Structure 1
Amino acid sequence: MNDNDMVKALKKGDKIAFKYLFNTYYNRLVAYIITYSHDKAQSEDIVQQTFIKLWENRQKLDDSKSPKGYLYAIAHNIYIDAIKTSKKHEKIMNLVWESALRDRIEEDFETQEIRIQKMKRVVENLPPKCKKIIHMNKVQGIKYQEIADQMGISIKTVESQMRIAFIKIREAFKEDNVILFFLFRELRNSCKK
């Protein structure tokens, strides 16, 4: 039996004819689609869909023609549809991702602003000398020795006042997993504005 005879039998619902065509063209079609997709699993899925479509549309087959061209055309069209669907899906996913990222940036900005305001309140409530020393060091960027020289106190006093400030700040942020270094940097930047 040749391909045309198999098509005639297939049109009548002959499963043996279908199996013959499947065995004859399956690997060829997979190899053909792989040249486009470079993905064996996707190619096998497309070829399986091709044979499902062949079975579903068997009544429409022209039994004077070889099914080869029909099978290759179906496989190619299914591949093209899969690419279009994939691109649409990718575009939608990119839009969702961008939207989520924008929302996250806005949330992060709002959270950061809240933390900076909280830090300012904590610093504002420190004892006057402690507040001045932390401001000089963390906002103005003055080193401990220079602070000691400017204020006429020992470097040990500066260190002690900084320790007190850090204890108060850590207490205020104990529920927050915030890295204080970044918070001080943001505080310094906001004070310069």
Structure 2
Amino acid sequence: MEVFHNDSILIKNIKKSDKKSFKLLFDRYYKKLVDYTTSYTNDTQEAEDIVQQTFIILWTKRQKLSTEKSIKSYLYRITHNTYIDTYRKQKREDIFFNELKEQALTERITEDPEILEKRIIKLKDVIERLPEKCREILHMNKFEGLKYKEISEQLDISIKTVESHMYVAYKKIREAFRDDELFLIFIYKFVHK
């Protein structure tokens, strides 16, 4: 009961944007949450990313925190939901890249699966290095299948802004594959289908 009491004091302070209390709460639960998440991911780095995301969410929603409910349960719930979201996102990406591979092999873009695998890794890397907003919009469009209008509504930005981010994404992909024209034409056809 003492821990919960201390937690509720920390939450009262966090609601007032007290960073010291936030740090205390972070130090109290970070390692436990990472261990918990690692049991799902089997990857400590990924677990750490998820837990950091949990605390970002907590800080963002600090005004709405309840001092009556257990913050520990709330943290575990956010962490679990963040893990599920990450897992779903990863699955959608895997499906996209697997379809891309299958299509490339079907269209005989390359006879060598190893070369194709290298191209896919390069494409993933190019996408990973895109500016954050650009990457998020490309992700929503290509991996989640959202239309530009849906993206603009979800992110509360204009369709023109969505188009401009997509343009930047395609430009970076084009630059990365400028010496691989056949694969570039194929990517263009695939992502515009």
The bucket for the TM-score relative to the shorter chain is: 0.5 to 0.7
Aligned-residue offset at 1:66: 2.5
Distance 1:71 1:91 in 2: 30
- Partner residue, 2:169: none
Distance 1:107 1:21 in 2: 55
Task: Note if contact 2:104-2:110 (Cα within 8 Å) is conserved in structure 1.
Answer: no
Within the alignment, does 1:34 sit opposite 2:32 as a pair? no
Distance 2:13 2:70 in 1: 13
The normalised TM-score by structure 2 is 0.54
CA-to-partner distance for each residue in 1:133-163, whole Å, 9 max, x for gaps?
A: xxxxxxxxxxxxxxxxxxxxxxxxxxxxxxx
After the TM superposition, list the runs of 4 or more consecutive aligned residues in structure 1 that deviate by more than 4 angstroms. Answer: 105-108
Aligned-residue offset at 1:65: 2.1
Q: Residue 7 of structure 1 is aligned with which of 11, 15, 29? A: 11
- Partner residue, 2:160: none
Distance 1:56 1:97 in 2: 39
- Partner residue, 2:88: 84
What one-letter code is carried by the residue in structure 2 that aligns with 1:16? K
What are the within-5 Å matches in structure 2 for residues 12-161 of structure 1? 12-104=16-108
Gaps of 5+ in 1: 109-193
**Inter-CA distance 19–105: structure 2 relative to 1 (3 Å threshold):** closer
* Corresponding pairs, count: 108
Distance 2:50 2:103 in 1: 33
Please report the RMSD computed on the Cα atoms of aligned residues, expressed in angstroms.
1.8
The normalised TM-score by structure 1 is 0.54
Aligned-residue offset at 1:64: 1.6
What one-letter code is carried by the residue in structure 2 that aligns with 1:55? W
Gaps of 5+ in 2: 113-193
